[in-house]
């Protein structure tokens, strides 16, 4: 049986251990203290060294005790956003909240606490547990740097679940967009704004022409575009020489994303016809994924949710998560809602009932997975 009090206690302990991105080591050590006695073997990869953090991605494996021979995959991330030092969780009206000075860190420790309690309760109940492959990543909040640097070929599972999105328990993300970001430098010519403005080439004016020519916001149901930051100019009496613009594009369809990125580049580059120097640099932040409703991980999660009286629902997200990197080459990872709420803010919270239901769902998924083998 799931031990509700123990679940709350362990979640509160977990969030009390600070683990902002690149500083996940102490939290990983806490996890090992609790997971090793449950029969998990573990290894860290070298992602920490590569990205300048103090901890690598933590891969845990536990052999099955039942008939399943293939492992089931679970993932959550160990890092939190800031302010994330000295989190003091408290109980308030059926929720767990922070002191108001920091985030709570339910993103993503709710997923981790639920996984730990699900396994612990099944061990205590002598339930058959499928072989498990659990990956706790680092630096998810830093452009998914941990997952990006994880060698997927190390996984033996065929599919599984990430526990890292908001929404009601039973809700799951089965599609998310690919994401490109770009940085443009526009260089015009400086001149005195009052004495010889005709000698200048106004970089701010050029930038605004290009930005006006872009389509921004929600372009269609699969696509969004944003210009998020602009820097440039020195003083009102100087025709500005240089502007830097930062923007991004997201699309469920990767081919369309490439086309849009090229079109965006074209619009900025056309400013060179007016004599400006334009440098356009873009990068692919993460790929998209799409899992049909008929896929095994979706069906199994739906069945598990229904057995618990939850409302299963598949949704498409506008954001990225580690799952974007895992859904490659036929490996399918559905991102389950954990109940975390108001994330990335000091009002972050989680309903205790949701934390409990999430644990029940993870447990039921393991039971369903195991029952397929028998
Ligand atoms: Zn998260």
Q: Summarize pLDDT for 216-226 with one digit per residue, the tens.
A: 999 999 999 99
pLDDT at 274 over 90: yes
* Mean pLDDT to the nearest integer, 340-367: 97
pLDDT of residue 302: 98
Q: State the pLDDT confidence band at 199, using cuts at 50, 70 and 90.
A: very high
Catalytic-role residue among 107, 108, 140, 341: 140
pLDDT category of residue 363 using cuts at 50, 70 and 90: very high
263 alpha carbon – ligand 1 mean position (Å): 32
Residue 334 confidence class, pLDDT cut points 50, 70, 90: very high
* Superfamily of structural domain 4-176+288-373: Zn peptidases (3.40.630.10)
- Establish whether 140 is a catalytic residue: yes
Q: How far is the CA of 140 from the centre of ligand 1 (A)?
A: 7
Question: What rounded mean pLDDT belongs to the chain?
Answer: 97
pLDDT interval class at 373 (50, 70, 90) = confident
User: How many whole angstroms from 277 Cα to the centroid of ligand 1?
Assistant: 39
Cα–ligand 1 centroid distance for 54 (angstroms): 19
Q: Ligand 1 centroid vs 200 CA: distance in angstroms? A: 47
pLDDT at 374 over 80: no
Domain chopping of the chain, boundaries: 4-176+288-373, 178-286
Lowest mean pLDDT among 209-213, 299-303, 315-319, 338-342: 315-319
CATH of segment(s) 178-286:
3.30.70.360
pLDDT, tens digit, 9 for 90 and up, residues 89-114: 999 999 999 999 999 999 999 999 99
Which pLDDT tens digit goes with each residue over 6-24?
A: 999 999 999 999 999 999 9
Q: What integer is the mean pLDDT of 306-315? A: 98
Using the mean position of ligand 1's atoms as its centre, give its distance from the Cα of residue 155 in Å.
21
* Rounded distance from Cα 62 to ligand 1 centre (Å): 24
Catalytic site residue from 45, 79, 164, 354: 79
Which has the higher per-residue pLDDT, 83 or 328?
Answer: 83
What pLDDT sits at residue 206?
A: 98
pLDDT at 161: 98
Report the share of the chain in percent with pLDDT over 90.
Answer: 97
Q: What is the dihedral of CA 170, 10, 2, 69, to 10 degrees?
A: 70
Task: Give yes or no for residue 330 having a pLDDT over 90.
Answer: no
Output the pLDDT for position 208: 98
Q: Is the pLDDT of residue 314 over 90?
A: yes
Q: What is the pLDDT of residues 122-144, one digit of tens each?
A: 999 999 999 999 999 999 999 99
Rounded to the nearest angstrom, the distance between the alpha carbon of 347 and the centre of ligand 1 is 15
């Amino acid at each position: 049986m799931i031990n509700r009090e123990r679940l709350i206690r362990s979640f509160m302990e977990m969030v009390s251990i600070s683990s902002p991105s690149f500083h996940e080591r102490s939290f990983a050590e806490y996890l090992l203290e609790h997971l090793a006695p449950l029969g998990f073997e573990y290894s860290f990869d070298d992602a920490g060294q590569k990205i300048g953090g103090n901890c690598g991605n933590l891969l845990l494996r536990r052999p099955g005790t039942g008939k399943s021979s293939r492992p089931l995959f679970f993932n959550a991330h160990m890092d939190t956003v800031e302010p994330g030092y000295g989190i003091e969780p408290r109980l308030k009206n059926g929720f767990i909240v922070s002191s108001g000075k920091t985030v709570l860190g339910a993103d993503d420790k709710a997923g981790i606490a639920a996984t730990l309690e699900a396994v612990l309760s099944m061990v205590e109940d002598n339930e058959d547990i499928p072989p498990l492959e659990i990956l706790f990543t680092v630096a998810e909040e830093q452009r998914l740097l941990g997952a990006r640097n994880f060698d997927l070929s190390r996984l033996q599972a065929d599919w599984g679940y990430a526990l890292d999105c908001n929404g009601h328990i039973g809700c799951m993300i089965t599609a998310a967009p690919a994401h490109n970001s770009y940085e443009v430098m526009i260089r015009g010519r400086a001149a005195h704004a009052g004495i010889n403005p005709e000698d200048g080439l106004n970089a701010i004016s050029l930038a605004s022409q290009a930005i006006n020519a872009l389509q921004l916001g929600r372009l269609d149901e699969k696509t969004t575009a944003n210009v998020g930051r602009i820097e440039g100019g020195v003083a009102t009496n100087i025709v500005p020489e240089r502007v830097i613009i930062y923007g991004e594009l997201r699309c469920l369809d990767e081919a369309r994303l490439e086309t849009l990125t090229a079109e965006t580049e074209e619009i900025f580059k056309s400013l060179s016809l007016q004599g400006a120097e334009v440098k356009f640099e873009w990068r692919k932040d993460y790929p998209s994924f799409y899992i049909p409703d008929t896929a095994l991980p979706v069906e199994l999660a739906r069945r598990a949710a229904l057995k618990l009286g939850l409302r299963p629902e598949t949704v498409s997200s506008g954001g990225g998560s580690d799952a974007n990197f895992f859904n490659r080459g036929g490996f399918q990872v559905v991102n389950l809602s954990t109940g975390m709420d108001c994330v990335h803010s000091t009002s972050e919270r989680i309903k205790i009932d949701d934390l409990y239901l999430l644990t029940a769902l993870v447990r039921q998924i393991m039971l369903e997975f195991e029952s397929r083998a028998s």
